[in-house]
Structures are given as C-alpha cells and as structure tokens.
C-alpha cells in the first residue's frame, strides 16, 4: 500500500472557481504534511505545510488536515490559469524523508 | 540568496556507463535529500544526509546507486552501469534541519540510451 495516495486527475476547474485537491495517507503516525506545486518541467515548490487538525489558510490557499480520517486537502479559491500545475501531497512520519503522492494535475480553464 | 543547484541539468548516456550527478545545497542547510521522479510519477525517495550522521540509504533501488556528501555540503549521486530504467529526473533538496521544509533544486534529467 502506498504511503500517500492522490487522485492523479486531471482536475479541470473554470477560472474563479474553487479547486479541491485531496490526499489520503496510510500511516497514522504521520505527523506533518506538505503541499508542493510543480509546473511542467520544473522542480516542486512548497505551497503549504500543516501539522495540526483543522484548517490553515494562506492567501487563496487553505490546507485541511483530518488525522482521524487520515486525509489532507488543499483548497484553492478564485483559481487562476497560473495555478495550472501538478500538486504533490507529502507526509512525514518522524523519519527523515517525505513520502510523496503521485500528484494531481490541475487545469484552470480561462 | 542562492538556492539549491544541481549539475548537469541534462545528461544523456549509454547503457552500461557510470554517471555522477552533483548537488549544492543551500548554504547552512544540514539536511540533504535525493529523489527520483520518473515521467508522470511522484517523487521516489533515494537517500538522506543529516550532518555527520550515517546517511539513510533505505530508498536506493539497487547497489548500483550510491551517494556521498563531502564536508557536510556538496553531494554526489553515482549510478554505476546505468540501465534504461534509470532514466528519470533526479532531484536534490535541502533543509535547515531534519523534518523542516525541503527546498528543491532544478533537477538533473538523465536519459539512458
């Protein structure tokens, strides 16, 4: 079983809509989670990190963590074409490395 | 400030040859990670260095893969007797300390013919 799973998409939303990206994880010991954005041909860049249950907001982005249900989500409000990218979810279980999902490809349609 | 740098940016090699990939982490970052990303796939952890501690090699796919980190800074990932399935983007990341945010380099795109 993969440590972190994501729907590969593609997910298409119209400009201005809310994009919802979801991720589940298998290890209940996972302590912290990260969302990375990766544009085609580029390296991943950190969008959000979340450590506690609940919501964490940063501008148009909101990360949500539910440890009981073992899922993490990322909401992007007022989606823009520039948000079109692959979004990678990652979890850390007190070990040294991150376990990454395969990513969800998001397309925001103008 | 300067980010993580990697070289070469692209490498084409013939099956059976050895290759070396270099990573320069952000100055002062004690943790360094290597990942591999195959086309359309997520990131696969390879190896982790933290200061002077023994590296975590649990992600290396075979004994053809090895990595060193000299002086707690620059790291080299070596792939011996390359195979076509080694073709991927090799990403390096560094962080100030274990478990903190990882900052990725631009990657080395390796193609084994």
CA distance A16 to chain B (A): 27
Chain B neighbors of A101, CB-CB under 8 A: 42
pLDDT of B113 reads 96
A-B interface: how many C-beta pairs under 8 angstroms? 49
- If you measure CA to CA, which chain B residue comes closest to A6? B42
Residue B81: pLDDT band (50, 70, 90) is very high
- From residue A46, alpha-carbon distances to B37, B46, B100 in Å are 17, 20, 11
Instruction: Encode chain A (110 residues) as per-residue pLDDT tens digits.
Output: 568 888 877 899 999 999 999 999 988 888 889 999 999 888 999 999 999 999 999 999 999 999 999 999 999 999 999 999 999 999 887 656 788 898 999 999 99
Contact B98 A42 (CB under 8 A): no
pLDDT of A13 reads 96
pLDDT of A93 reads 72
Written as six digits, the tokens of B83 are 């195979």
pLDDT of A108 reads 97
- From residue B101, alpha-carbon distances to B33, B61, B67, B83, B98 in Å are 12, 25, 22, 32, 9
Terminal C-alpha separation, chain A:
37
Please determine, for residue B62, whether its predicted confidence score (pLDDT) is greater than 90.
yes
Check if B104 contacts A (Cβ < 8 Å). Answer: yes
pLDDT tens digits for B15-54?
Answer: 999 999 999 999 989 899 999 999 877 888 899 998 888 8
Of B33, B42, B45, the CB nearest to A88: B42
The residues facing A104 across adjacent strands are: A87
pLDDT of A94 reads 64
Check if A87 contacts B (Cβ < 8 Å). Answer: no
């Amino acid at each position: 079983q993969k440590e972190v799973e994501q729907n590969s998409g593609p997910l298409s939303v119209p400009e201005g809509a809310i994009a919802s990206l979801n991720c589940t994880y298998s290890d209940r010991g996972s302590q912290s989670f990260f969302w990375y954005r990766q544009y085609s041909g580029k390296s991943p860049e950190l969008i959000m990190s979340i450590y506690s249950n609940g919501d964490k907001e940063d501008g148009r982005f909101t990360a949500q963590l539910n440890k009981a249900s073992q899922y993490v989500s990322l909401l992007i409000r007022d989606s823009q074409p520039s948000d079109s990218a692959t979004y990678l979810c990652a979890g850390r279980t007190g070990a040294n490395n991150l376990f990454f999902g395969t990513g969800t490809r998001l397309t925001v349609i103008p | 400030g300067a980010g993580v740098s990697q070289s070469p940016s692209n490498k084409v090699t013939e099956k059976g040859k050895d290759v070396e990939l270099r990573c320069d982490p952000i100055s002062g970052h004690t943790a360094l990670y290597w990942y591999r990303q195959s086309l359309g796939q997520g990131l696969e952890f390879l190896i982790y260095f933290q200061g002077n501690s023994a590296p975590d090699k649990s992600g290396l796919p075979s004994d053809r893969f090895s990595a060193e980190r000299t002086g707690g800074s620059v790291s080299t990932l070596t792939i011996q007797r390359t195979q076509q399935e080694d073709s991927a983007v090799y990403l390096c990341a560094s962080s100030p300390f274990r478990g903190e945010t990882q900052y990725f380099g631009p990657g080395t795109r390796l193609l084994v013919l």
